[in-house]
Amino acid sequence: GLSQITVMQAEVIREGELEKRSDSLFQLWKKKLVVLTKDSLSLFPDGHKRAKGKELGFGSILKVDCVERTGKYIYFTIVTKDRKEIDFRCPDQSCWNASITMALIDFQNKRAIQDFKSRQEMEQAAGTQERRLARAP
């Protein structure tokens, strides 16, 4: 698929293993190979990037939530904008939750700045038009 290619080309911030709680009835923890870039978190089943990855674009993620330490693991939840909750856990020392949170905040900040700039440009363009009309006979 296409997202496969973009992951490979995007700047990889971090790559490694995370466990994701499955959506199935038994809610088993399944190991995933994860690739974190500045735009997304991609999950590949059983540690292979050849398989189809599931890409969680930061544009669709609301926040990293419910971080909880239990000695051996850190548990955390990624909440999407459509209110889906995806549960993960990682070994306590790996701090994956922090890596993902930092990348997400960076992405959201950049996006906020872009939105602000494009709003300013639109207002400036509108202002120029008004002045032109004011000068018209």
- Please determine, for residue 9, whether its predicted confidence score (pLDDT) is greater than 90: no
Please state whether the predicted TM-score (pTM) of the whole model is above 0.95: no
Check residue 4 and give its pLDDT.
Answer: 52
Give the pLDDT mean for 99-128.
93
pLDDT tens for 27-48 read 899 999 999 999 999 999 865 6
HEC states along 30-45? EEEEEEEECCEEEEEE
Percent of the chain with pLDDT over 70: 88
The residue among 11, 7, 39, 17 whose CA lies nearest residue 103 is: 39
Scan for tokens 């398989």, then name that residue. Answer: 51
pLDDT tens for 117-136 read 999 999 988 888 777 777 77
Asked which of 78-82, 113-117, 133-137 is least confident by mean pLDDT, the reply is 133-137
User: What's the whole-number average pLDDT of the chain?
Assistant: 87
CB count in 10 Å sphere of residue 132: 9
Rounded to whole angstroms, the Cα distance separating 137 from 17 reads 69
Rounded to whole angstroms, the Cα distance separating 65 from 131 reads 48
Check residue 45 and give its pLDDT.
Answer: 84
Check residue 24 and give its pLDDT.
Answer: 81
